[in-house]
Amino acid sequence: MTSIFTKTMRWWMPVVMLCGFISNATAQKYSNEFLSIGVGARAQGMGMAVIAGGSDVTSGVWNPAGLAGIDLPNGFQLGAMHSEWFGGVGKFDYAGVVLPLANNHRRLGLSFIRFGIDQIPNTLTLYEDDGTVNYDNVSEFSAADYAFVLSYAQLVKPEVGKLAVGGNIKIVHRRIGPFATSWGFGADLGLQYRLNKWRLGVLARDITTTFNAWAFSFTDEQKEVLSLTNNEIPINSVEITRPQIILGITRRFEWKNVGISPEIDLIATTDGRRNTLISAAPFSIDPAIGLELDYKQKVFLRGGASQFQREMDFGGKELLGVRPAIGVGLKVGALNLDYAFTDLGSQQNTFSHVVSVMLNVRRR
């Protein structure tokens, strides 16, 4: 009996997963959440608190204004990251580049993000018309989210160098095998301000209310399977990502060869009450806290926390959950190597290793 149950679940779980992807595709409150995972092991190791202090190629995703603070003497900066979530089932990848324009106080950035689950068995046609099982009908598909980000940043009054502004144009493409696709567009606007050793950051994310237009494609046979398994057959729809406002503040302290840079960010969502530390309607606020310790700005030790959520234990007692993070970094000449260990803040303890590299390239 156990073996029969195990075999049955092995082949029907992919159908359940597929239906889950489809139902998530039409949900609006947490649309495009893959963009909230964050890129770069430095940012991950600091609990995603980099809105004010981030100033490298990954700023094109976090706060485009940070690109203006990158020193690019006759060159450009490259960045890449890889991490795996849910025990290696989900793969998250990032690649980016930032270039100086003719005016050296202006920057242009390009970022590419992919979060996908590959080799998902498609068992919608597992059974023949006579009820027999035909494993040859099983195929595989991928469920993946893509984002292409074009960033621009510049210093306002470069002779002072205190204020930097930047903006993003985002193209989002999401695909669930041959069954569903969507295209979306949005924009971000950010700034960073220096006041002595203090740095302030503001990001208006999805200020245009980013949308995703979904189109679904099922054969009549697949629709029949979905109907028989009590799953809703989705129709073409539009998914909305509402704006967020993120405020950040950081300061660098130095003692001889040792530096320490704490940062705190406040993430304000506008889509109603969420399970956050400060939950209200229509605004909810979730803090992110990060700390970076460095030696001669060559060796780095990081820690952070974010996604503070109220959870219930088995005894019905309310607990405060958090997404913890730790990380290290090493700068060797023009190369930066970073590592972080963090999780998605869920009850399943989905911890992941995050590795990223960053390279400053000089033109000859």
CA dihedral 56, 62, 68, 69 (to 10 degrees): -50
pLDDT at position 35 is 85
pLDDT at position 127 is 64
The residues, ordered by sequence, that sit 6+ positions from 210 with a Cβ below 8 Å of its Cβ are 31, 32, 170, 172, 184, 185, 186, 187, 240, 241
- Sequence spans of domains, the chain: 2-362
pLDDT at position 134 is 65
pLDDT at position 14 is 40
| Tokens linked to 288 | 């992110």
pLDDT at position 40 is 93
Q: Which amino acid is at 129?
A: D
pLDDT at position 340 is 95
pLDDT at position 310 is 76
Pair 309, 275: CB distance under 8 Å = yes
User: Strand locations in 101-179, DSSP E?
Assistant: 106-122, 139-156, 163-176
Other beta carbons within 10 Å of 264 = 18
Q: pTM for the complete prediction?
A: 0.81
- DSSP states of 35-67: GGS---HHHHHTTT--TTT--STTHHHH-GGGG
pLDDT at position 281 is 78
* The CATH number of domain 2-362, selected from 1.10.730.10, 1.10.3720.10, 2.40.160.40, 3.40.50.1970: 2.40.160.40
Q: Which has the closest alpha carbon to 110: 69, 59, 65, 154?
A: 59
Mean pLDDT by 10 residues, the chain (364 residues): 34 40 47 83 94 94 93 85 81 94 89 89 66 69 90 85 92 86 92 92 91 79 69 74 93 94 93 79 89 95 89 73 91 94 67 91 76
pLDDT at position 137 is 67
The CA–CA distances, whole Å, from 364 to 175, 307, 346 equal 42, 45, 48
Q: Facing residues of 180 across strands?
A: 176, 216
pLDDT at position 125 is 64
